[in-house]
Homo-oligomer: A and B are copies of this chain.
C-alpha cells in the first residue's frame, strides 16, 4: 500500500496508542484501563473465570481467507466460547500480538476493531494488551475473565447416565465454510455464503451458557472448538461416563452435507471431525429437557437432542442403522 506505515515505522508506543484508542477505556468497573503496567477491575465477590486461547498464522488461519477484523472477532469468539461453556458472564480481556515489523499499522487496527466489535456485543471490556515483534508470521493470544456466582460454574464433570445430550446450532458449518474458501469443497451459493460467514465470524453461545447455568439445565458442558467427537471424549472422561450419539439426530448443516458430498465423504463422518463451530455440547437431566428446549427457544438459539449419557463401560459410541459402533475422537491435529 502507498504510504502505509508499518509497525517498524510507528514503533511499540505508536501502535499501542492507536490500539488503546479503540478499546474504550471508560467502562464501569474498570478502575485502570489500558496503558499502565496492568489493568485493574473492581472486584464483585463473584467467582472469577479465567481462560486463554491462541491463534497462529498458517496453523489456525490463512490470511487469504480472513480479514484482520475477522481474525480479531474470531480470537475473541474462541475466548468467549470458553466463558460460555462455563456459564460465565463476560468481564474483561487482554490481548498479546506478535507481528512482523512489516505489518501495516492499519492491519493491526482493523484486527482490534474486529475484536472490539464482538467484545462490545457481549459486554467484554478489552482492558490491555501488548504488541511485540515476530520474525515470521502472526501470533495472537487472548486471555479472558468472566464472573459467576461461587459454585455455579458449568464444568465438564457432572454428567450422569440417563442425562440427555444437546448440541446448539448446526454442525460443521464453519468447516464447510473453510473448505469452500480454500477450494477444497463445493456447495450451492446461498449455503456457501452462510457457511463462509460463520467460518469468518463465529458466534459464541454466551447467552445460552448463562441460561443453562442460571436455570440448572446442564450437569456438564463444553464448547466444540475442536470437534464434536473430541468434545464428547473430554466430557465423557471428565464426568466418568459413556456417551452415545445418534447419527440421524446430528444437525449437520446443509452446506456441510453438500461440501462433504463434493469431497466424496460421508456427511456424518465429515461433521463429527469438524472443528471451530464454537457451539455448546451439554448434558441435561432428563426431567429438564422440556425446560431446556424452551429456554433455548426464548433466546432464539436452536438446540438439538443428539444422544444420551450412558454407563462408562459403553464408551463413546455412534448409533446408526440400528447398530452402535465405537467413535474415535478425531479433529484438528495441533502439531
The answer to whether A63 has its CB under 8 Å from any CB of chain B is: no
**Which residues of the other chain, B, contact A82 by a CB distance below 8 angstroms?**
37-38
CA of A40 to CA of B51, assembled, Å = 9
The distance from the CB of A201 to the nearest CB of chain B, in whole angstroms, is 21
A37 adjacent to B134 (CB under 8 Å): no
The answer to whether A46 has its CB under 8 Å from any CB of chain B is: yes
B45 adjacent to A43 (CB under 8 Å): yes
The answer to whether A26 has its CB under 8 Å from any CB of chain B is: no
The answer to whether A18 has its CB under 8 Å from any CB of chain B is: no
The answer to whether A24 has its CB under 8 Å from any CB of chain B is: no
User: Interface-forming stretch among A5-13, A241-249, A253-261, A319-327?
Assistant: A5-13
B150 adjacent to A7 (CB under 8 Å): no
The answer to whether A295 has its CB under 8 Å from any CB of chain B is: no
The distance from the CB of A43 to the nearest CB of chain B, in whole angstroms, is 5
User: Interface-forming stretch among A92-100, A175-183, A188-196, A265-273?
Assistant: A92-100
**Which residues of the other chain, B, contact A50 by a CB distance below 8 angstroms?**
38-41, 92, 94, 127-128, 143, 145
A128 adjacent to B53 (CB under 8 Å): no
**Which residues of the other chain, B, contact A98 by a CB distance below 8 angstroms?**
54, 56, 59, 139
CA of A128 to CA of B50, assembled, Å = 8
Closest to A222 in B: B37
The answer to whether A116 has its CB under 8 Å from any CB of chain B is: no
A223 adjacent to B43 (CB under 8 Å): no
The answer to whether A42 has its CB under 8 Å from any CB of chain B is: yes
The answer to whether A121 has its CB under 8 Å from any CB of chain B is: no
CA of A145 to CA of B93, assembled, Å = 11
A38 adjacent to B51 (CB under 8 Å): yes
**Which residues of the other chain, B, contact A141 by a CB distance below 8 angstroms?**
52, 54, 96, 139, 141, 143
The answer to whether A85 has its CB under 8 Å from any CB of chain B is: yes
User: A96-B54, A137-B135, A143-B52 known; A36 and B130 CB under 8 Å?
Assistant: no
Please provide the chain A residues from 69 to 119 with a CB less than 8 Å away from any CB of chain B in the complex. Answer: 81-83, 85-86, 88, 92, 94-101
CA of A40 to CA of B130, assembled, Å = 24
A interface list, Cβ under 8 A from B: 6-8, 11-12, 31-32, 35-60, 81-83, 85-86, 88, 92, 94-101, 127-137, 139, 141, 143-148, 150-151, 153, 155-157, 221-223, 238, 333-335
30 A-B pairs within 8 Å (CB atoms) are namely A11-B334, A12-B334, A31-B151, A35-B238, A37-B81, A37-B85, A37-B223, A38-B50, A38-B86, A38-B146, A38-B153, A39-B50, A40-B47, A40-B50, A43-B48, A48-B145, A50-B143, A52-B94, A54-B96, A54-B98, A56-B98, A56-B139, A59-B135, A96-B141, A98-B139, A100-B335, A135-B137, A136-B136, A139-B141, A143-B143
